[in-house]
Amino acid sequence: MNPYKLLIVAALIGVLASLGWALFHLSSDQGDPDKMLRALKLRVGLSVLLFLMLFVAWYFGLISPHQVQR
């Protein structure tokens, strides 16, 4: 598998893990709002990075969209 695709999958997993971490701090009784905010900032940053990586990979031909078969 292409290493660039693995990097994209790792960023996606990081986004989901950060979202889960923020949910944990939101739902816990003694949740620290600063930790939740930090986790959400990390999620937004990772999402922007993932979006940029997808565009760069598409521009350089590392990934390509496929047509839906009917």
Residue 54 pLDDT greater than 80, yes or no: yes
Higher local confidence (pLDDT), 63 or 46: 46
> What is the rounded CA–CA span in Å between residue 9 and residue 25?
25
Q: What residue spans define the domains of the chain?
A: 3-59
3-50: pLDDT as tens digits: 888 888 899 999 999 888 888 888 886 767 788 888 889 989 999 999
Higher local confidence (pLDDT), 51 or 35: 51
Instruction: Give pTM, 2 decimals.
Output: 0.76
Q: List the structure tokens of 60.
A: 């350089």
Instruction: Give the type of residue at 48.
Output: V
> What is the rounded CA–CA span in Å between residue 4 and residue 7?
5
